[in-house]
Amino acid sequence: MTVQAAETRRFEAEVEQVLKLVTHSLYSHKEIFLRELVSNASDALDKLRFEAIAKPELTAGDTDLHVEIAFDKAARTLTLRDNGIGMSREEVIENIGTIARSGTRRFLESLTGDARKDTQLIGQFGVGFYSTFVVADSVTLVTRRADLPAEQAVRWTSNGTSEYALDTVTETRRGTTITLHLKPEEDEFLDSWKLRNLIGKYSDHIAFPIRMLKEKFGEEGESSGPEIETINHASALWTRPKNELKDEDYTAFYKHAAHAYDEPLAWTHNRVEGNQSYTSLLYLPTQAPFDMAFSGRDERKGLKLYIRRVFIMDASEHLLPAYLRFVRGVIDSDDLPLNVSREILQENKLVAQIRSGLTKRTLDLLDTLAADQPEKYATFWSNFGAVLKEGAAEDHANRERIAKLLRFASTKGEGSAAKVSLDDYIGRMKDGQDTIYYVTADGFAAASGSPQIEALKARDVEVLLMGERIDEWMMGYLHEYAGKKLRNVAKGELDLTKLGSVDEAKEKEADAAAKPVIDRLKTLLGAKVKDVRASKRLTESASCLVVDEYDMAPHLKRMLKAAGQDVPDAAPTLEINANHALVQRASNEADEDRAREIATLLLEQAQLLEGAALDDPAGFVKRMNALIAG
C-alpha cells in the first residue's frame, strides 16, 4: 500500500459532541459495535451484488462475497474486512458521518441522561461505525470502490475526538477494511471464542459468509497451521423454514435489518405461491424511529426489496401505503426482473398485488395483536396510532378494518392514557342510542373539558375525546362504523330526544325563556356572531361556540393558518344556556353598554374554551374585572 496524499479534517462541533456521548453511553452495550460493523459490511456486499447485475466486471476475479474477521493479540488490533462495493473519497466523507446527516441537534436535545434510553436513541440515529470508539483508541479504515482504480483507494484514520485524517492510497483489493486499535481494558475482543459467540448472537442470519481463522490440530496435538472457517449460517433468514427459527433468530434479524436497538413488538413471516411467488418478513417496532415525526411521508425506509435473494432497494413507498410506514422487514420476490427501477415499480402490476397482500398481512398482524396481546397493542398505539389514523382517511378499501384498530380517550376512561375502541363504545351504548358521539379539540384536556359535551355527560352518554391534530381531518372521512353514525357533538344541531331528558320541565321552561334573551344578544353582538341560539348541549357552562355540520373546526382552522394556509374567516354561532346566571344578567341589564360588555364576555369565554387567542385580551380582563367588582 502506498500513500499519495494526506488531508486532516475537523469534525463538526455537534458530531464531536455525539462522539463523546457514544463513547460514554454505550458502556453496557459496547459489544454492539461488532454487530454494526458486520451489518455495514453486509450492506456493502448487497450493493455490490446489485450493481454487478448491470456491470459484471465489478466482481471480476473475486466473486466470492464474504466478510473476514481477524485479531492480533500482540498488536492489540481487531480487523473486519469485506469485499463489497467500497467507497470513494467523497463517499467516505459523506457516509462515515452518518450521524451528521441524521438530525444531530435534535439528537442532542433529546438526551435524558439515562444511559439505557440514550443508548436506544443512539441506535435510532444510526451511529453504527462510530460505536467502534467505545472499545478502540483509534480506528483505521481503508476502502476502494469497486469501479475505481487501485490508486484511488482512501485511508481514513481517527481517534474519535476532534479530527480525522484522509489519505489517498493504493489498494489492489476492492471493498473496505476496518482496523480497531483496542483500548487496554478490551482484551475480551481479542478472544476467538468471544468473537464467535458475538457473531452467533448478533449476525448469524447475515446472508454472506463471515469467516475467521481457525487453528487446526493433528492427532499428536501439533498445530497443522491456520484454517479459515465460516462462523455463521450464511443464508438469508427469511428463506429458512419457520420451524427452524426461534424468537431469538427473528429478533436478531430485526435488529440487523432495521439497524435497531429496540426489541420487535411482533412479526409475521409468510411465503406466497401461485400467480406470483414472494416471501415476506414484516416487523412492528416497539419504538418509533426518532425521525418519523420529521421526515416526510415519502421519505420512507425500512422495507427492503430483494429479488431472488439479491438486494435491490429500500422500497417502502412502493410496497406499503404511507400510513403503514412504521413497518420494517424484507420482501423477496421470485418474479420481478432484477433490473427493476423505481419507475417500473410504480407501474408494475405484480408490485400492486404485493402491496395489497402486504397491507392485508400487516392489518392481520395488528388485529391479532389487539385481540390477543392488548398490552402490546397499547404500546404500538402510543407510538404509531397517529400514523395509523391516516389510513382511515386514505384507504377506503380497508377503512372499516382500520377503524376497528383505532383507539381513543373517552369520558368513560380514566385520563388520557385510557383508550377505548369503537367496538368498546358500541358495547356500552345506551338504549335508544344509534350514534357514536365524539368531540375534537387541541388536546385531551380541552376535549374532556369541552362545554359541548355537558348534556351528554349529564345523560351518562359516552363521548370519545379526540385531542390529536389529525383527528378532525380523519373524522372528515370516517362517517360510520358497524352501522353506527359518528357525530361530532360540537357541530350542527344536536338532537338528544332519543336519549331521554334530565329534566324535561326545566328544558321547556328554558326554551320559552330563551327567545327574548337570544334576540337581545343578537342585537348586542351584531356582526361578531353568525347566529345566537339556545343550546341543547350545555348544562353548566354559560355559552359555547358551534359550527355547521360540515364546517371546519376552529382548532383546525388555527392550525392551517399557522401553517400559512389561506383559511376564510367566518363569524361563529354562539349557543347559550338561557338558565345560566351570566346569561340572565345580560338579559336583565338595563344599561345598554354594560349589557354589551357582558354579552361580549359570553362570546369571549366561548372562544377561550375553544382554545382561541382573543383579539383584545386587555379588553377581556377589563370586562371581567368590572363584572367581578359588581
Range of the domain at 484: 408-499
Q: Which of 230, 247, 271 is the last residue of a domain?
A: 230
Q: Is residue 395 part of a domain?
A: no
pLDDT digits (tens, 9 = 90+) for 68-124: 999 999 999 999 999 999 999 999 887 774 444 444 445 455 555 554 444 444 444
pLDDT at 68: 96
- Banded pLDDT at 126 (limits 50, 70, 90): very low
Question: Side chain identity at 491, as an amino acid letter?
Answer: K
Q: Which of 328, 349, 372 is the last residue of a domain?
A: 372
CB-based burial label for 142 (10 Å; 0-12, 13-18, 19+): buried
Q: Are strands 3-10 and 77-82 parallel, antiparallel or unpaired?
A: unpaired
Same domain, 443 and 555: no
Beta strands in 218-364 (DSSP E): 223-230, 264-272, 278-285, 303-307, 310-314, 328-333
Q: Locate 627 and state its grid cell.
A: 363584572
pLDDT digits (tens, 9 = 90+) for 195-234: 998 998 888 878 899 999 885 545 554 555 568 899 988 8
Q: For the chain, what is the largest distance between any 2 Cα atoms, rounded to a whole number of angstroms?
A: 117
Same domain, 58 and 186: yes
Same domain, 183 and 46: yes
Same domain, 277 and 223: no
Phi, then psi, of 493 in degrees rounded to 5? -75, 140
Helix, strand, coil percent content, the chain, rounded in steps of 5: 45, 20, 35
Same domain, 488 and 535: no
Q: Which of 230, 264, 283 is the last residue of a domain?
A: 230
How many domains in the chain? 4
Kindly report the pTM of this predicted structure.
0.74
Contact in structure between 19 and 11 (CB atoms under 8 Å): yes
Same domain, 519 and 487: no
pLDDT digits (tens, 9 = 90+) for 244-299: 999 999 998 998 888 777 899 999 999 999 888 999 999 999 988 755 554 555 55
Contact in structure between 606 and 625 (CB atoms under 8 Å): no
Q: Is residue 382 part of a domain?
A: no
Contact in structure between 433 and 463 (CB atoms under 8 Å): no
Residue 330 confidence (pLDDT) above 70: yes
- Banded pLDDT at 21 (limits 50, 70, 90): low
Same domain, 146 and 287: no
